[in-house]
């Protein structure tokens, strides 16, 4: 059976985006016309993932409101928008004890099914109609993997911001992962292949999470749970982003500004004007 369930963890504090995130979740910041989290939900819907669980926390209620039916804004019936066929569920993480802890809240929702995880602060854009998640789900099922993870190449100075893979042999478009390290120092990093915010898991990941100790920050890391999976004898497969697939991470202001500019420049109605405006501005500096 195909995979239809997805989990979006949105419980992070967003401290790197203060004061913009003082009273609103970072996932609700707009890039171009839509809040970040809407792009994520659209990506999941496009991949056939119709049952979505949000793992939320304090100050995240506006996400629920955003996907609600809103008659004042012209929604005539609960079924009249492009995302209305989706079933959305919400659960609150009690304490912010890491991404692994957040994902562990999905255990009952998932049951015996494999499922996808998409981090709510990262948008994946593709130049073609290929879907990264569909590709990952196909490979996951073909390989009978415990986990299938998206990776992108990053510069050496950025390996400390991500989970980094040690591939088994040469890393092609998809590859087996031998080990993973969360946020290594450049000198400890086994490669420059960084976890790119999309995952597919077999439910065995919950057992791996239970067997995994907290990491350096005292939080339960999903990266460490995948290392446990490998030790349990399950395969972890990496899938590389293609050249035309781009990941926008909205964790800090630099990447947020870049994402906003890219989306504004490509806006079908205003993109042209924004390009002209920017040309003018750039002449001034
Ligand atoms: C999390 C994961 C990390 C991954 C990153 C991708 O880190 O722990 O392995 O590479 O997301 O966005 P965070 O950005 O929450 O610190």
pLDDT tens digit string along 90-116?
Answer: 999 998 899 999 999 999 999 999 999
Which pLDDT score is estimated for 71? Answer: 58
CA of 161 from ligand 1 middle (Å) equals 7
Q: How far apart are CA 51 and CA 67, in angstroms?
A: 13
Query: Dihedral angle at the C-alpha atoms of 142, 143, 146, 152, nearest 10 degrees?
Result: -90
Q: How far apart are CA 29 and CA 20, in angstroms?
A: 8
Query: Across residues 156-183, what is the average pLDDT?
Result: 94
Q: Compare 70 and 254 and report the one with higher pLDDT.
A: 254
Query: Across residues 265-270, what is the average pLDDT?
Result: 95
Of 202, 215, 44, 201, the residue nearest 118 (C-alpha): 44
Residue from 197, 219, 256 to probe ligand 1 pocket by mutation (most atoms less than 8 Å from CB): 197
- Average pLDDT value over all residues in the chain: 91
Query: Across residues 5-24, what is the average pLDDT?
Result: 90
Residue from 119, 150, 214 to probe ligand 1 pocket by mutation (most atoms less than 8 Å from CB): 119
Predicted confidence band at 74 (pLDDT cuts at 50, 70, 90)?
low
Q: How far apart are CA 273 and CA 281, in angstroms?
A: 12
Which pLDDT score is estimated for 55? Answer: 96
Give the least confident one: 66-70, 243-247, 266-270.
66-70
CA of 280 from ligand 1 middle (Å) equals 37
Give the least confident one: 57-66, 75-84, 253-262.
75-84
CA of 205 from ligand 1 middle (Å) equals 17
**Which of ligand 1's atoms lies nearest the C-alpha of 223?**
9
Which pLDDT score is estimated for 82? Answer: 67
Per the CB < 8 A criterion, the answer to whether 14 and 60 are in contact is no
Predicted confidence band at 81 (pLDDT cuts at 50, 70, 90)?
low
Per the CB < 8 A criterion, the answer to whether 92 and 10 are in contact is no
Which pLDDT score is estimated for 67? Answer: 86
Which pLDDT score is estimated for 12? Answer: 78
pLDDT tens digit string along 128-139?
Answer: 777 999 999 999
Per the CB < 8 A criterion, the answer to whether 146 and 201 are in contact is yes
Residue from 195, 218, 236, 254 to probe ligand 1 pocket by mutation (most atoms less than 8 Å from CB): 195
Q: How far apart are CA 82 and CA 57, in angstroms?
A: 26
Residue from 162, 240, 256 to probe ligand 1 pocket by mutation (most atoms less than 8 Å from CB): 162
Which pLDDT score is estimated for 75? Answer: 59
The share of the chain scoring above pLDDT 90, in percent, equals 78
CA of 249 from ligand 1 middle (Å) equals 10
Query: Across residues 260-278, what is the average pLDDT?
Result: 95
The share of the chain scoring above pLDDT 70, in percent, equals 95
* Ligand 1 lining (C-beta closer than 6 Å): 99, 119, 122, 162-163, 182, 194-195, 197, 221, 223, 249, 251
**Which of ligand 1's atoms lies nearest the C-alpha of 12?**
15
Q: How far apart are CA 228 and CA 264, in angstroms?
A: 42
Task: Domains for the chain: give ranges and CATH numbers.
Answer: 5-261 (3.90.550.10)
CA of 71 from ligand 1 middle (Å) equals 37
pLDDT tens digit string along 199-221?
Answer: 999 999 999 999 999 988 889 99
Which pLDDT score is estimated for 95? Answer: 87
Q: How many CB atoms are located within 10 Å of the residue 204 CB?
A: 15
């Amino acid at each position: 059976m195909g995979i239809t369930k997805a989990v979006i963890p949105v419980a992070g504090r967003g401290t790197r985006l203060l004061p913009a995130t003082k009273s609103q979740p970072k996932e609700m910041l707009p890039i171009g016309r839509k809040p970040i989290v809407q792009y994520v939900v659209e990506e999941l819907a496009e991949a056939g993932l119709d049952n979505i669980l949000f793992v939320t926390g304090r100050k995240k209620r506006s996400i629920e409101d955003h996907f609600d039916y809103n008659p004042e804004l012209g929604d005539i019936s609960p079924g009249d928008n492009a995302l209305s066929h989706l079933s959305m569920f919400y659960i609150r993480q009690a304490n912010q004890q890491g991404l692994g802890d957040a994902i562990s809240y999905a255990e009952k929702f998932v049951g015996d099914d494999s499922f996808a995880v998409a981090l709510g602060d990262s948008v994946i854009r593709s130049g073609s109609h290929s879907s990264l998640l569909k590709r990952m789900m196909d490979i996951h099922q073909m390989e009978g993997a415990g986990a299938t993870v998206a990776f992108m190449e990053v510069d050496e100075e950025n390996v400390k911001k991500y989970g980094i893979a040690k591939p088994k042999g040469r890393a092609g478009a998809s590859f087996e992962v031998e080990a993973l390290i969360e946020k290594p120092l450049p000198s400890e990093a086994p490669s420059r292949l960084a976890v790119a915010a999309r995952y597919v898991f077999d439910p065995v990941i919950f057992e791996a999470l239970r067997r995994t100790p907290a990491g350096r920050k005292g939080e339960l890391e999903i990266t460490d749970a995948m290392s446990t999976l490998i030790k349990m004898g399950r395969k972890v497969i990496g899938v590389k982003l293609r050249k035309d697939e781009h990941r926008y991470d909205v964790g800090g202001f630099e990447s947020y500004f870049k994402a906003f500019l890219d989306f504004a420049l490509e806006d079908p109605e205003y993109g042209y004007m924004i390009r002209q405006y920017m040309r003018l501005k750039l002449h001034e500096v």
